[in-house]
Amino acid sequence: MKKWINGIFHTMEKPGAVKHQMATDQGLIVGFDDDIDGIVFDEIIDLKGAHIYPGFVDAHLHLLGYGRMLSRPNLNKIKDKDQVIAILEKAYQDKPLFAEGYFECGLTKSDLNQISNKELIMVRHNDYHSLTVNDAVLNMMDYESEDGVLTEESAEQAMRLFPPHTFEDLKDFLKKSIQKLNAFGITGGHSDDLSYYNSFDETLSVFDEVLNVIPFRTHLLVHHHVLDDFLKSGRTYMDQTPYLQLGSIKMFYDGTVSSKTALMKAPYRNTDMHGLRIHEKLEFERMIQKVRAHHLTAAIHVIGDQGVLEVIEILKKYPPKQGQFDRLIHTPWMDQKTPDYLKGMALSIDIQPQFLSSDLPWAFDYFEKTPELVFPWKTLLDHNIILAGSSDAPIEIPNPLLGIRALVYRISDHDHKAYGLKEAIPIFDAIKLYTTSVQFSTMKSNRGYLKKGYIADLTGFEKDLEKLSEPEFETTKVLWTIIDEKVVFQKEK
């Protein structure tokens, strides 16, 4: 039995509700304050005045992709070509090189050929949809490019040439990812990883092995490409171990705004294009029917306002079985009527608040007419729709405080202006998106609050989050990350 003293425990039952001492045993909360008087403890942990919350969870990210990004040279925020080249030269070790996060500053294939024109060199741009590559890559693809810049299809084709990761590489990515997430106070994540690396079985074994030794509440979506592998594996839906669940089937309804593939009601500016459906409507319906035939649920990537309308129509036609819930991922743009249509549906929405800060206002330039609803978080909550907070890391930094700041202040990182403040949500509700409502998709009834019988997953900050000023969201430190009663990250104040 452990006693946790000198903490301010925010139970998340209502704003400002706090306790001061807590007892835990076998990974569960036993009680607080007066209720735990007289108990004999084996261990007393001094939390040194930290503000303790239920463990923060990221509702949509890519654990392996994030770990891989952390393992590769990163050119993030470097805007000087000579500096980029210097970093690449230093990272090059006579084997294929892949660098991430390049910000356009005039790098071409001839710069990369200087480093090597024998080994493959690929530099991914920070929009995630283009690459700059050297001649070794172009020759192998039998592809001509003046400057070595490849986009979309050709970029993907090039990436398939990169040597596959070994089992040990993947384990290493996962460990790095979890370690960094713990430092952001994250105790769990809902991740889409199972179709992008090696085989389904091998990738899943990476999780089995790592989570056997490192606690992290991992919930994996099953990409529809590996649905048959999942069915063959004999694995069941949801709980595998206390640290691993297999959840909804991940599918894509449309694309993204920056590549003009998100399915919009109105055409993109100066075009007659509305974006696209990744699968024809009928084919998508068949995919949903297959999911239902196996009593499973769907996690659907959908970005455009028209895409959301169509997904709703299809899900209403084929609802999940009683007691099950689908999830929509992204949905930044919506038609005026959408929140009413969503009301009462068996689903939750995984939103990425940081996308507002990253994408506004430039995303407006893509549209002839601004969609009716833009990141309509307040409206959705007012319609009792369950929202869960996420980063989509490696796309955004998986620091939940940055997500909460975006929910509350709606400030663009580009012009520092606030956008659509009537859709801002109160700080307490914003914290809930990362602690309480994010647990909805796990179907666990003892996660997301600090209450007797709930899991002892905790995140401790140096300050009371409900009282932070806008700039403090960037500077407030995580002091403790605790999973299953075990301290996995600790920082001195």
Q: Can you give the binding site for Zn ion, defined by CB under 5 A?
A: 392
**For Zn ion, the closer CB: 392 or 423:** 392
**For Zn ion, the closer CB: 128 or 409:** 128
In sequence order, the 6+-apart residues with CB closer than 8 A to the CB of 360 are 374, 375, 412, 414, 419
- Work out how close the CB of 191 gets to Zn ion at its nearest, in angstroms, rounded to a whole number: 9
- Work out how close the CB of 112 gets to Zn ion at its nearest, in angstroms, rounded to a whole number: 28
Which conformational region is residue 421 in: left (phi greater than 0), alpha (psi within -120 to 50 degrees), or beta? alpha
**For Zn ion, the closer CB: 355 or 454:** 355
- Work out how close the CB of 192 gets to Zn ion at its nearest, in angstroms, rounded to a whole number: 6
**For Zn ion, the closer CB: 64 or 149:** 64
**For Zn ion, the closer CB: 392 or 429:** 392
Amino acid at 318: Y
- Work out how close the CB of 351 gets to Zn ion at its nearest, in angstroms, rounded to a whole number: 12
**For Zn ion, the closer CB: 22 or 249:** 249
CB 357 within 8 A of CB 409: no
- Work out how close the CB of 180 gets to Zn ion at its nearest, in angstroms, rounded to a whole number: 17
Q: Which two tokens stand for residue 173?
A: 């990515």
**For Zn ion, the closer CB: 305 or 392:** 392
Residue 71 CB neighbours (<10 A): 16
**For Zn ion, the closer CB: 392 or 396:** 392
- Work out how close the CB of 64 gets to Zn ion at its nearest, in angstroms, rounded to a whole number: 12
By beta-carbon distance, which residue lies closest to Zn ion? 392
Give the bridge partners for 480, in sequence order. Answer: 460, 490
- Work out how close the CB of 298 gets to Zn ion at its nearest, in angstroms, rounded to a whole number: 15
- Work out how close the CB of 60 gets to Zn ion at its nearest, in angstroms, rounded to a whole number: 6
- Work out how close the CB of 181 gets to Zn ion at its nearest, in angstroms, rounded to a whole number: 15
- Work out how close the CB of 352 gets to Zn ion at its nearest, in angstroms, rounded to a whole number: 8
- Work out how close the CB of 330 gets to Zn ion at its nearest, in angstroms, rounded to a whole number: 8
**For Zn ion, the closer CB: 54 or 400:** 400
Q: What angle do CA 468, 474, 478 make, to 5 degrees?
A: 80
- Work out how close the CB of 381 gets to Zn ion at its nearest, in angstroms, rounded to a whole number: 22
**For Zn ion, the closer CB: 23 or 349:** 349
In sequence order, the 6+-apart residues with CB closer than 8 A to the CB of 156 are none
CB contact burial 235-273 (16+ within 10 A = b; e otherwise): bebeebeebbbbbbbbbbbbbbbebbbbbbbeebeeeee
**For Zn ion, the closer CB: 193 or 335:** 193
**For Zn ion, the closer CB: 392 or 485:** 392
